[in-house]
Structure 1
Amino acid sequence: MCGRFAIDDKVNESITDFVEQTGRKPEDWAPDWEARWNIAPTTQIPVLLDSAKDRQLRFVRARWSLVPPWSDAIAPKFPTFNARTEGIAEKATWKRPLRTSRCIIPANGYYEWTGEKGSKQPWWIHPADGHIGFAGLYSWWRPKGTDDDWTLTATILTTASVPHLANIHDRNPVTLPQRMWEHWIDPTVTGDQALADEAIATHQDEAAALDYYPVAPFKTGDSGPQLIERAA
């Protein structure tokens, strides 16, 4: 599971470096993400995608909770900010975006909680340095029968926890090394269960290398880099 994460403004430079390495940097490339330390579902998140329409790499904002185009409402009856990888190619909500609409969602790390309600302990899970990239899916949505603007929405894939993190939560967001990012988002690569399983296998080493420590409890509206400071 991944229900809260954080990302600083250094991600603009990090993603730009990655795109330059691909040799596919668009002329109008100008990422401008601002640091946020307590990102919640249904709010805006940054996503890196490879547009099937014009094969341009784009670093854009999306609403965190994927909404399939056939949905009557932008808030489905069930949570869609995470997508379980088990049997994902057979699920109505996920199989279409898995096929051609995959993305990378960068982060400095994410939060999980342990303990009983009322006394839960938050943990900050993160790489030793730099950013991680969550495997994600995206979809465009707008109200049926309208000419309203399309809304870009996205979800983060999850899988069973690696042993290293199982004492905190039984699910992990799927993290991918940069060497797999371009492959994952390539819309010409068939998105099926085999590709999802490949991502999970690659994720194992990435997740095993993540560090974690307790942080002070915080509220939904709290923000700032102090949220990721180790608790005394």
Structure 2
Amino acid sequence: MPGRLFLTRPASDVSAAFGAAMPQGQGPRANIAPGQQIVVWDGAALRMMRWGLIPVGRVNARGRPVMETIVNARFETLFTKSAFENTRRGVVPCDGWYEWTGQARRKQPWRIAPGDGSLLGFAAIWDVWKAPGGAELAQVATVTCAPNGDVGPIHHRMGVILAPYEWSTWCSGNIADARSLCHPWPDGRLEVVKAEGVDWTGP
């Protein structure tokens, strides 16, 4: 989808990949959940944003703000849905992500990561939400597409994975350029294994 992320490689490796300084205090994290702060490349710098986007300006039939948080945005409606108007595009670096299968209380977690150990870059959208009291919060949602053959057996969606040479195009290209990048990653590049030894209660 992705459900949760992990980024455990040294911060210096992420910094080198993007040619930008990592935010202060960002070390390895084996369990990154929605609602937490994550590292995002905004096209120029790596910065911290909350994973979960409250669409700016979204209102219900009565004209009241809709506070529902969107963690993942479907690319099929990303460029046409009013909830995503005026969002900017970014890239979420990670080493991989987790998904679950099975019934409640007996769910099996799966760890999904590149077989060659390379850094992933998820396509994302972001903006700055202004709270009623005036506080501002940078927020981000990852972009999803249909799964490839590696992910399909365990989930009906996967994040849009961008190659490093596509990062700048996603962030600063036009809509047609960005839309052309929204497709499943080629089959055979991801390793899907049972997730063992992860502390799901902590960050």
Asked whether the two chains share a fold, i.e. TM above 0.5, the reply is: yes
CA spacing shift, 1:111–1:75, aligned 2, 3 Å? farther
CA spacing shift, 1:30–1:133, aligned 2, 3 Å? closer
CA spacing shift, 1:30–1:108, aligned 2, 3 Å? closer
CA distance in 1, matches of 2:15, 2:199: 32
2:125 matched residue in structure 1? 137
2:171 to 162, 180, 185: 185
1:39 matched residue in structure 2? 32
Displacement after TM superposition at 1:44 (Å):
0.3
CA distance in 2, matches of 1:124, 1:80: 23
CA distance in 2, matches of 1:9, 1:135: 20
TM-score normalized by the length of structure 2? 0.86
CA spacing shift, 1:43–1:213, aligned 2, 3 Å? same
SS at match of 1:175: coil
Is 2:125–2:141's contact at 8 Å kept on the other side of the alignment? yes
SS at match of 2:182: helix
Is 2:30–2:198's contact at 8 Å kept on the other side of the alignment? no
CA spacing shift, 1:177–1:43, aligned 2, 3 Å? same
CA distance in 2, matches of 1:105, 1:31: 13
Is 2:56–2:83's contact at 8 Å kept on the other side of the alignment? no
1:13 matched residue in structure 2? 12
Is 1:67–1:74's contact at 8 Å kept on the other side of the alignment? no
- Answer 1 or 2: which has greater helix percent: 1
Deviations 1:50-74 (A, max 9, x none): 2xxxxxx110100001123325899
CA spacing shift, 1:141–1:164, aligned 2, 3 Å? same
CA distance in 2, matches of 1:8, 1:74: 37
Which residue type is aligned with residue 214 of structure 1? Answer: K
1:157 to 131, 136, 143: 143
1:53 matched residue in structure 2? none
2:152 matched residue in structure 1? 166
Task: Tell me the matched-pair count.
Answer: 197
Which residue type is aligned with residue 88 of structure 1? Answer: L
1:213 to 184, 193, 199: 193
Displacement after TM superposition at 1:116 (Å):
1.5
CA distance in 1, matches of 2:2, 2:191: 16
Which residue type is aligned with residue 46 of structure 1? Answer: V
Deviations 1:119-173 (A, max 9, x none): 11111000121310000010101124x443x210000001111122210101001
SS at match of 1:86: helix
SS at match of 1:140: strand
Which residue type is aligned with residue 131 of structure 1? Answer: L
1:64-143 aligned at under 5 Å gives the runs: 64-70=51-57, 76-77=67-68, 79-97=69-87, 101-127=88-114, 128-143=116-131
CA distance in 1, matches of 2:159, 2:84: 16
> What is the aligned-residue identity percentage?
26
5+ residue gaps, structure 1, are: 51-56, 224-232
CA distance in 1, matches of 2:65, 2:168: 29
Instruction: Tell me the C-alpha RMSD between the 2 structures.
Output: 2.4
5+ residue gaps, structure 2, are: none
